[in-house]
Amino acid sequence: MSKELEILAKNHEKWINIVESMGCNPSYSEDIVQEAYIRMDKYISKGTDISYNKDDVNTWYFYLTLRSVYIGSKEKKSVSNFTEEFNIDLMYDEIEDKYKELYNSTGDCDFDNLIENIFKEVNSWEFYHKNMFIAYFTTDASLRKISSTTNIGTNSIYNSTKKYKEIIINKFQEDYNKYIKNK
């Protein structure tokens, strides 16, 4: 352990109290502080100087590291809450099964192609966007319900879902018109 970390560790209880004052659960605050120590060790090993002099370190820098680790942990929790609350993995399997039923039942080649292409497009999106699309467009959950579960702002969710609609309309408008024309 570096000298700077030893100096920081002398105030370990103080750091735990600071993390708890940010709103962290007391049972989880120890993990946040430990993660911050690990991050500081990486910074120090890369050559970052966090000391004022031989016997004093930049506690403000460590506070910012604690804050960053805490905020990052909240974001990780939101993603796990998101997938757990809405059972995204199960839902995705159900949607895939419904689409497969549609492919087999409609007998309409244009409709099958349209649904298959939309499904492929959504499947190619990043984790967050794919799961947000599934949660919003395939459940009864409102923007506010999704927002309260995930700690993601309603404006952000609204803008994301608006963007998804635009992407799908722009990419598949021709296929949709072809389907309607042949219907």
Q: How far apart are CA 108 and CA 178, in angstroms?
A: 12
Q: What is the pLDDT of residue 107?
A: 53
Q: What is the pLDDT of residue 29?
A: 83
Q: What is the pLDDT of residue 113?
A: 73
Residues 40 and 95 in one domain: no
Q: What is the pLDDT of residue 136?
A: 78
Residues 97 and 161 in one domain: yes
Residue 81 lies in a domain: no
Task: Report the number of distinct structural domains present in the chain.
Answer: 2
Structure tokens given for 162: 């608006």
Q: Residues in the chain with pLDDT < 70?
A: 1, 74-111, 138, 183
Residues 49 and 110 in one domain: no
128-142: pLDDT as tens digits: 788 788 777 767 778
Residue 177 lies in a domain: yes
pTM listed for this prediction: 0.44
Last residue of a domain, one of 24, 50, 76: 76
Residues 128 and 178 in one domain: yes
Q: What is the pLDDT of residue 165?
A: 85
Residue 48 lies in a domain: yes
Residue 153 lies in a domain: yes
Q: How far apart are CA 32 and CA 15, in angstroms?
A: 9
For residue 125, the enclosing domain spans: 86-182
Residues 24 and 56 in one domain: yes
At what angle are helices 26-45 and 12-21 packed, to 10 degrees?
Answer: 120
